[in-house]
Chain A
Amino acid sequence: MNTLRHAAFLMFFVACTAFAQNIRIVPVDHNSSNDDFGLTPTNHGRLVYFTSDRSGEQQIYSMERTSSGWTEPDKLGGKVNSATHVGTCALTTDGQYMVFAGYEHNVDGLGRTDLYSATRENGTFKNITNLAALNSSFYDSQPTLSADGRTMLFVSDRTGGAGKTDIYLSTWNGKEWSTPKQVTGINSAASEMSPVLASDGRTVYFASDRQGGKGGFDVYVAKLSGLDATNVRPVGEPINTAADELFYTSIPNSDQAYFTRATASGDYDNFMAVPNPFPSDPVVLVEGIVRDSVSREPLGSAMSITDLSTGKAIATLHSDDETGRYYVTLVPGRVYSITSSRQGYMFHSERYEVPPAAKGSTVQKDIDLIPLSSGKTGSLLVFFDNDKSELKPESMPELERVIELMRENANISVRFEGHTDDKGSDDYNVKLSERRAESVRDYIIAAGIERTRIESAGYGKKKPLSNATTEDARALNRRVEMRIISTGK
């Protein structure tokens, strides 16, 4: 029995050693002789932001990953870097909303280092705002955002904490950030730093100089559920060494991770670990380009992702003003609607089902926005039971968008056009499609939109989008469309 135990232990030891030895630690390109830390990927890893004091003060830089390697670091323009020290930024998956820390920023704060937000407009981060609901008069820094941008972790040394610096959590309710609370199970009497919430929304990495580590700050990993962190454990060697290790960041659906380590020369540098010994759970990465359906020009647009099973908006994002690109991370096994809207365009809504087996995949989903003046039609994401014309409750968010569009564009007139699949008689389908279009029309009129601006019509199965007879094709053909029949000009 003892021999078996020894053999098992030996195998385990060998396996661990081999595992450890197989992890390669390589410096990320463009580290300087000064501090470079907190590498934060966005746009599904194609673009990273990091902090460096290569110019004397801590500032935020970005660089892109191309087929030929990383581009030269580019200091952020605009006024984000207008402070004595700026850095440790976090971005939403779409790269359009940034939270960062600023010490003595030109936009006044509440005390020492504070958290700020900025939004990207035409390639520059603007609208710099002090996140007063999160900040204290103490040190508030090192934010990290969940993939949906609705949960933030950050570090503070405010009074009432467990140690020198602790990790706090706040959630976004669509209007404001909640009062920060300490994450339980993660904070100690030592200093906790550099939390990074992975794209799965559950895995959290952080650094701590608590007792029992390899020395200095070591990286730990835990699972987060609400305010509770469980299964806290160090990531071990070769990530953790006697030097400081911080800002461990798992690249989604990848075997790579970034982290920051203190070097022998005393500065911090960014490194990559391959393979990532503690990857986060795989997710579905959805990306695409929003374009003008007529000119094909890329468009910046407001976008929202709604979980259709709950009707709750789970993420708001923005396609880039210059490239039209958007990026979003979704959890498999759910049905979503993706909506894109922009002034002067008919909004676009699309049902998107992410099968459980889609874990770890990247999906391309481009969106064409129809100019109001084009006279084209766009499908509405409205739902009816089989053979019925009563609107199902999950149709309401889409109908509210129609109402908002008509209120914002008081001169336009629209026609709702109903269509069916190829099952059943022509006469029956025409009547069913008419009733469904009328249901939409009546809902809009009931909301106060003038009757004279709205028409409805039913075309039955005369105008299919697909001539195939598969279930998918039939589902595509069963629809209510909205056509702009007059722009009032």
Chain B
Amino acid sequence: MKKHILMSAMVLTLVTGSLQAQNEDVLRPYGRPGDAQQSNSRSRSKRDKMIIGVEGGGLLSFFSQTLERDVQVTGSPEDVLKSGSGWGGTFGLFFDAPLSSSVGLQFRVNYNMQAFSNSSTADTIDAAIVGIRPRDGEAPQGFTTVVPMPVQTSASWTTNSISIAALARIDIVDELFLTIGPIASIRMGDVVRHDMIEKTENDTMTWISIDYNGVAGKYQSIHRDISVASNILPVGAISTSTYAGARFGLEAGIGYRWKIGPSVFIAPNVRYQYMFSKMNETFQSTDVSRGNLQSPSNITFSNAKLNALAIVLQVGFYF
């Protein structure tokens, strides 16, 4: 973690430091010769306008984690936990302090509402796990017959956070600018995951025989909301992991300022937030979805990452 924060700080320092050299004035479009080496005793171009602004827009989240199995099984509902994506929203405040004509430091605080999900309609679980319903007029057959049962599976996450970014802003040409710098994300409340397993074939022979609380029944579908990282099946050897309270990463973006008034501009802005921190720690669980017809499979869930692409509109005010 410390290594990542250090790396972000170094990027910020290098970028801001190296781009203060070009000091345009009314006589010299490209600054004085050798300006970068000159001391500040000569007139130094220093933009005197600071910016304060608000922004709002969409946040496209990308979740991923690694599932490592000791035994490979096909069509397991657990596989929906490998990844997820989806749109949420973000809004925030920013402050830009100029360092030179083309470089500034930008500080931003955002409230983020992230939502992402994954689903599969081609999963299969062994019906022995959930039981077989007897035919009409016949005696119950118990759980001795095992058949594969097609199911649809989904997992949907929602999480809110406050992010704080300290960015270098570099004007490339004209009003086109880049931002790059470290970002911290602080979780606000629980990460809530909604799990769902649902039969996809309308037969009268099979049903889901146990819900997420271990209560036996004849279910067409089962649901739950959980706030810890876990596997998705309602049975099996379950272990969990809590979600990280704070995560750190690096953000890089590009934007374009359009002046719409003497001291006002709007700036469409696209940026990618790559988080070095994991969303939760490694945990293990047993996948029993194909435990009868294939084999139980132990899964190690690790390297859970949540990155995001933000597309926002900034409204800035010079002062």
**What's the minimum C-beta distance from B250 to chain A, rounded to whole angstroms?**
30
Q: Which residues of A contact B174 (CB under 8 A)?
A: 111, 137-138
Asked if B82 is an interface residue, CB under 8 A from chain A, the answer is no
Q: In whole angstroms, how far apart are the Cα atoms of A164 and B101 in the complex?
A: 20
Q: Which of A103, A107, A137, A138 contacts B25 (CB 8 A)?
A: A103
Which residues of chain A in 62-108 are interfacial with respect to chain B, using CB atoms and an 8 Å cutoff? 84-88, 101-104, 107-108
Q: Which residues of A contact B263 (CB under 8 A)?
A: 108
**What's the minimum C-beta distance from A364 to chain B, rounded to whole angstroms?**
36
Contact B318 A139 (CB under 8 A): no
Nearest A residue (CB) for B33: A266
Q: In whole angstroms, how far apart are the Cα atoms of A108 and B257 in the complex?
A: 13
Contact B26 A85 (CB under 8 A): yes
Q: In whole angstroms, how far apart are the Cα atoms of A58 and B318 in the complex?
A: 22
User: Binary interface profile of B, 99-141, with partner A (CB < 8 Å = 1, else 0)?
Assistant: 0010000000000000000000000000000000000000000
Give chain B's interface secondary structure class. Answer: loop
Q: In whole angstroms, how far apart are the Cα atoms of A43 and B96 in the complex?
A: 44
Asked if A165 is an interface residue, CB under 8 A from chain B, the answer is yes
Q: Which residues of A contact B45 (CB under 8 A)?
A: 84-85, 103-104
Which residues of chain A in 105-128 are interfacial with respect to chain B, using CB atoms and an 8 Å cutoff? 107-108, 110-113
Contact B47 A141 (CB under 8 A): no
Contact A113 B318 (CB under 8 A): no
Asked if B214 is an interface residue, CB under 8 A from chain A, the answer is no
Q: Which residues of A contact B46 (CB under 8 A)?
A: 84
Nearest B residue (CB) for A111: B174
Asked if B48 is an interface residue, CB under 8 A from chain A, the answer is yes
Nearest A residue (CB) for B40: A56
Q: Which residues of A contact B49 (CB under 8 A)?
A: 104
Q: Find the residue from B29, B43, B173 having the highest chain A CB count within 10 A.
A: B29
Asked if B190 is an interface residue, CB under 8 A from chain A, the answer is no
User: Binary interface profile of B, 25-67, with partner A (CB < 8 Å = 1, else 0)?
Assistant: 1110100000000000001011111000000000000000000
Asked if B175 is an interface residue, CB under 8 A from chain A, the answer is yes
Q: Which of A56, A104, A108, A268 contacts B43 (CB 8 A)?
A: A56
Asked if B24 is an interface residue, CB under 8 A from chain A, the answer is yes
Q: In whole angstroms, how far apart are the Cα atoms of A95 and B48 in the complex?
A: 30
Q: Which residues of B contact A58 (CB under 8 A)?
A: 25-27, 43
Q: Which residues of B contact A84 (CB under 8 A)?
A: 25, 45-48, 101
Q: Which residues of B contact A57 (CB under 8 A)?
A: 43
Asked if A51 is an interface residue, CB under 8 A from chain B, the answer is yes
Q: Which residues of B contact A112 (CB under 8 A)?
A: 24, 29, 101
Q: Which of B26, B173, B175, B259 contacts A113 (CB 8 A)?
A: B26
Contact B318 A108 (CB under 8 A): yes
Contact B48 A51 (CB under 8 A): no
Contact B43 A51 (CB under 8 A): no
Which residues of chain A in 22-47 are interfacial with respect to chain B, using CB atoms and an 8 Å cutoff? 34-35, 37-38
Which residues of chain A in 121-165 are interfacial with respect to chain B, using CB atoms and an 8 Å cutoff? 137-139, 141-142, 157, 164-165
Q: In whole angstroms, how far apart are the Cα atoms of A157 and B174 in the complex?
A: 13
**What's the minimum C-beta distance from A62 to chain B, rounded to whole angstroms?**
16
Give chain A's interface secondary structure class. Answer: loop
Contact B101 A157 (CB under 8 A): no
**What's the minimum C-beta distance from A153 to chain B, rounded to whole angstroms?**
15
Asked if B189 is an interface residue, CB under 8 A from chain A, the answer is no
Asked if B142 is an interface residue, CB under 8 A from chain A, the answer is no
Q: In whole angstroms, how far apart are the Cα atoms of A138 and B24 in the complex?
A: 11
Q: Which of A56, A137, A138, A142 contacts B26 (CB 8 A)?
A: A142
Contact A104 B47 (CB under 8 A): yes
Asked if A422 is an interface residue, CB under 8 A from chain B, the answer is no
What bracket does the count of chain B residues touching chain A fall in?
10 to 19
Q: Which of A88, A157, A164 contacts B27 (CB 8 A)?
A: A88
Contact B26 A88 (CB under 8 A): yes
Nearest A residue (CB) for B265: A108
Q: Which residues of A contact B29 (CB under 8 A)?
A: 112-113, 139, 141, 157, 164-165
Q: Which residues of B contact A102 (CB under 8 A)?
A: 26
What bracket does the count of chain A residues touching chain B fall in?
20 to 34
Q: Find the residue from A34, A141, A164 having the highest chain B CB count within 10 A.
A: A141
User: Binary interface profile of B, 279-319, with partner A (CB < 8 Å = 1, else 0)?
Assistant: 00000000000000000000000000000000000000010
Q: Which residues of B contact A35 (CB under 8 A)?
A: 27
Asked if A292 is an interface residue, CB under 8 A from chain B, the answer is no
**What's the minimum C-beta distance from A376 to chain B, rounded to whole angstroms?**
46
Contact A87 B26 (CB under 8 A): yes
**What's the minimum C-beta distance from B18 to chain A, rounded to whole angstroms?**
20
Contact A108 B262 (CB under 8 A): yes
Q: In whole angstroms, how far apart are the Cα atoms of A110 and B174 in the complex?
A: 8
**What's the minimum C-beta distance from A127 to chain B, rounded to whole angstroms?**
14
Q: In whole angstroms, how far apart are the Cα atoms of A103 and B259 in the complex?
A: 16
Q: In whole angstroms, how far apart are the Cα atoms of A39 and B188 in the complex?
A: 63
Q: In whole angstroms, how far apart are the Cα atoms of A204 and B49 in the complex?
A: 37
Contact B25 A113 (CB under 8 A): yes
**What's the minimum C-beta distance from A244 to chain B, rounded to whole angstroms?**
10
**What's the minimum C-beta distance from A95 to chain B, rounded to whole angstroms?**
20
**What's the minimum C-beta distance from A38 to chain B, rounded to whole angstroms?**
8
Q: Which residues of B contact A137 (CB under 8 A)?
A: 173-175
Q: Which of B24, B47, B262 contacts A139 (CB 8 A)?
A: B24
Which residues of chain B in 59-96 are interfacial with respect to chain A, using CB atoms and an 8 Å cutoff? none
Nearest B residue (CB) for A113: B26
Contact B262 A113 (CB under 8 A): no
Q: Which residues of A contact B24 (CB under 8 A)?
A: 85, 103, 112-113, 139
Q: Which residues of A contact B43 (CB under 8 A)?
A: 34, 53, 56-58, 85
User: Binary interface profile of A, 156-186, with partner B (CB < 8 Å = 1, else 0)?
Assistant: 0100000011000000000000000000000
Contact B262 A107 (CB under 8 A): yes
**What's the minimum C-beta distance from A268 to chain B, rounded to whole angstroms?**
8
Which residues of chain B in 238-265 are interfacial with respect to chain A, using CB atoms and an 8 Å cutoff? 259, 262-263
**What's the minimum C-beta distance from A114 to chain B, rounded to whole angstroms?**
10
Contact A51 B318 (CB under 8 A): no
Q: In whole angstroms, how far apart are the Cα atoms of A449 and B318 in the complex?
A: 50
Q: In whole angstroms, how far apart are the Cα atoms of A111 and B263 in the complex?
A: 14
Given A57-B43, A103-B26, A107-B262: 17 more A-B contacts, CB < 8 Å:
A37-B27, A51-B26, A58-B25, A58-B27, A85-B24, A87-B25, A88-B27, A104-B47, A104-B49, A104-B101, A110-B259, A112-B24, A112-B101, A113-B25, A138-B174, A139-B29, A164-B29
The 5 listed contacts between A and B (C-beta, < 8 Å) are A84-B25, A84-B45, A87-B25, A111-B175, A113-B25
Interface residues of B (CB under 8 A from A): 24-27, 29, 43, 45-49, 101, 173-175, 259, 262-263, 318
- The 5 closest A-B CB pairs, nearest first, are A139-B29, A137-B174, A101-B26, A87-B26, A85-B25
